[in-house]
C-alpha cells in the first residue's frame, strides 16, 4: 500500500492555509502531524479522507487518484477517526454493526466482542445505551468502529484530546497492536506531548508551510 499526496494546496478566500504539500506513506508507517491551532492540520486529514476538496493537488492510493475511486470504497480503505467520536443510533451494537452493514455483511459478534475486550469495555456493554457512556468510553467505541475492518490508512485527528491517561494507553495499545498485525499506515494529528516524544516520523504545519522530518 502507498498513499501519495502531491502538491496539495488549500485556500479560503484570499488566505492560503497551506501550499505545495507533498509526501507519501506506506505500510507500517506512522506519521505524526503537529502545528499551531488553525494551521491546517485537520483540514489536511479531511482532504486525505475525502471529506474536503483541496484547491489544487492530488491524493493517490496505490497510484490511483482519490477521485477515481467510488467514495464508499475509498473510505473503507482510508478510515478517519476524530476527537470526540460521533456515535449514532441507540447502542454500542448499532455503531459496531455499521462497518458490516456498509459492506453488506452480517455483523460478526465475536469480532465485535474481541475489540470491546481490547478496549476494556465489558461484553454486556454491547447493548448499552450510548448516552450512558463516558466521553472516554465513547472514544473507545469510535476507534473500535474504525478498526473492526482494518483500513489501509488510519487517520487520527486529535483523538486523545481530553482523555485520561488510562484511556489513552488502552486506545494506543490497540491501534499499535492492529498496525503490527495488519500493517496499515497511520497519520496522526496531535498536540499530545507523549505522542510527539514517541513519534516515528514528524510533519510540522505552520504559516502555510510544511516541514517534513527525514524518514
Give the separation between CA 142 and CA 136, rounded to whole angstroms: 10
State how many domains the chain has: 1
Model confidence pLDDT, tens digit, residues 39-93: 899 999 999 999 999 999 999 999 999 999 999 999 999 999 999 899 999 999 9
Q: Where are the alpha helices (DSSP H) in the chain?
A: 41-49, 71-77, 92-101, 109-118, 135-147, 165-182, 193-197
pTM of the complete model: 0.96
Give the separation between CA 88 and CA 104, rounded to whole angstroms: 19
Confidence at 117, pLDDT banded by 50, 70, 90: very high
Task: Return the biggest CA–CA distance within the chain.
Answer: 53
> How are beta strands 209-212 and 153-157 bridged, if at all?
unpaired
Question: What CATH number is attached to the domain comprising 186?
Answer: 3.40.50.300
Could you tell me if 148 and 95 are in contact, meaning their C-beta atoms sit under 8 angstroms apart? no
Closest CA to 14 of 208, 210, 211: 208
Domain that holds residue 60: 2-212
Confidence at 215, pLDDT banded by 50, 70, 90: low
Amino acid at each position: 500500500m502507498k498513499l501519495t499526496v502531491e502538491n496539495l494546496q488549500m485556500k479560503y478566500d484570499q488566505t492560503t492555509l497551506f501550499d505545495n504539500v507533498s509526501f507519501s506513506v506506506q505500510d507500517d508507517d506512522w506519521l505524526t502531524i503537529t502545528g499551531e491551532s488553525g494551521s491546517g492540520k485537520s483540514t489536511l486529514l479531511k482532504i486525505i479522507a475525502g471529506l474536503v476538496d483541496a484547491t489544487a493537488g492530488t491524493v493517490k492510493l496505490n497510484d490511483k487518484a482519490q477521485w477515481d475511486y467510488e467514495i464508499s470504497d475509498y473510505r473503507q480503505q482510508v478510515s478517519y477517526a476524530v476527537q470526540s467520536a460521533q456515535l449514532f443510533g441507540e447502542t454500542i451494537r448499532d455503531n459496531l454493526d455499521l462497518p458490516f452493514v456498509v459492506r453488506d455483511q452480517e455483523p460478526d459478534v465475536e469480532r465485535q466482542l474481541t475489540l470491546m475486550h481490547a478496549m476494556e469495555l465489558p461484553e454486556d456493554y454491547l447493548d448499552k445505551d450510548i448516552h450512558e457512556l463516558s466521553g472516554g468510553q465513547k472514544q473507545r467505541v469510535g476507534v473500535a468502529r474504525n478498526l473492526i475492518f482494518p483500513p489501509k490508512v488510519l487517520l487520527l485527528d486529535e483523538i486523545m484530546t481530553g482523555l485520561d491517561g488510562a484511556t489513552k494507553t488502552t486506545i494506543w495499545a490497540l491501534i499499535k497492536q492492529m498496525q503490527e498485525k495488519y500493517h496499515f499506515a497511520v497519520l496522526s494529528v496531535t498536540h499530545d506531548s507523549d505522542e510527539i516524544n514517541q513519534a516515528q516520523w514528524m510533519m510540522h504545519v505552520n504559516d502555510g508551510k510544511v516541514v517534513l522530518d527525514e524518514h
